[in-house]
Amino acid sequence: MGIKWVRFEKSGVIGFGCLEGDQIRIHSGNMFEHPKATGETVAVSSVRLICPVEPTKVVALWNNFAQLSAKLNLTKPPEPLYLLKAPNSFSDPEALIPKPAAEGKVVFEGELGIVIGKRAKAVPVAEADNFIFGFTIANDVTHSDILFRDSTFPQWVRSKGFDGFLPMGPCIATGLDAKTLTVKTVLNGDVRQEYPIADMHYTVQELVALISADMTLMPGDVIVCGTSVGVGSMKPGSDVSVEINGIGILRNRFE
């Protein structure tokens, strides 16, 4: 049976543990290396859940779903296409997604996040599962008007790197088969995305293998797998949630 790991803050102190119903079983040490149960528990209602990881980097995929590729008249890329999200964009479940000073269209992108559990360099596909700690939920928010505003230079980093533009959480779930997962994004009560992870061009194992051939992945790093059809704009005051079966619901407000 899988475990749901969370990080939390209470009275200025940060801790982590396993989510069990409405309680967190507190652990000490390193989440990724033999964490130890302290014997203490704390009620979820009495803490603030924070981003379940502290990545050195987040790798974000583009054009990784067949259905969206077909809609955009694209084909499967010969290798994964990706960018890096800036650390200032990493944010918490329930946190506000702040409206940037730059005016224009801001869109939600509900995605699955692969959480790396140990140092990974040039990992074979057949061994990739040994380096995957678990899965989380991400909203890869994008300022789409900025992206291609300058015809000489696509602004991927800026458009996806504003403060709070990557909420993640509420937990890291272990023991899941990614192929069975479905991503559902709801904006102001309306379902806007509902797509299967099985539709990915590159499996989670292939992503870990191919990306780790380029760069060393460290414990806590996250690969967000890209999104599919249904991406749309958020107006200030919008509530957006991303749900993945077996993980939970990531809720945020764009304000």
pLDDT tier at 141, thresholds 50, 70, 90? very high
104 lies in the same domain as 155: yes
Query: Same domain, yes or no, for 156 and 227?
Result: yes
For the chain, the average pLDDT equals: 97
Q: How many domains does the chain have?
A: 2
43 and 68: one domain? no
Please state, in angstroms and rounded to a whole number, the distance separating the CA atoms of residues 133 and 16: 15
Query: What pLDDT, on a 0 to 100 scale, did the predictor assign at position 132?
Result: 98
Is the same domain home to 35 and 111? no
**Average of per-residue pLDDT across 199-224:** 98
Q: What is the pLDDT of residue 65?
A: 98
Averaged pLDDT for residues 146-173? 97
- pLDDT, tens digit, for every residue of 9-48? 999 999 999 999 999 999 999 999 999 999 999 999 999 9
Same domain, 147 and 21: no
**Above 90 in pLDDT, residue 229?**
yes
Question: Can you tell me the mean pLDDT for 215-226?
Answer: 98
CB 51 within 8 A of CB 113: no
- Please give the radius of gyration of the chain, using alpha carbons only, rounded to the nearest integer: 18
Q: What is the pTM of this model?
A: 0.97
Calculate the alpha carbon distances from 111 to 22, 44, 127, 250 in Å: 25, 24, 23, 10
The verdict on 129 and 187 lying in the same domain is yes
Pairing of strands 182-187, 238-244: antiparallel
Mean pLDDT for 91-104 is: 97
Q: What is the pLDDT of residue 1?
A: 72
Give mean pLDDT, residues 171-175.
98
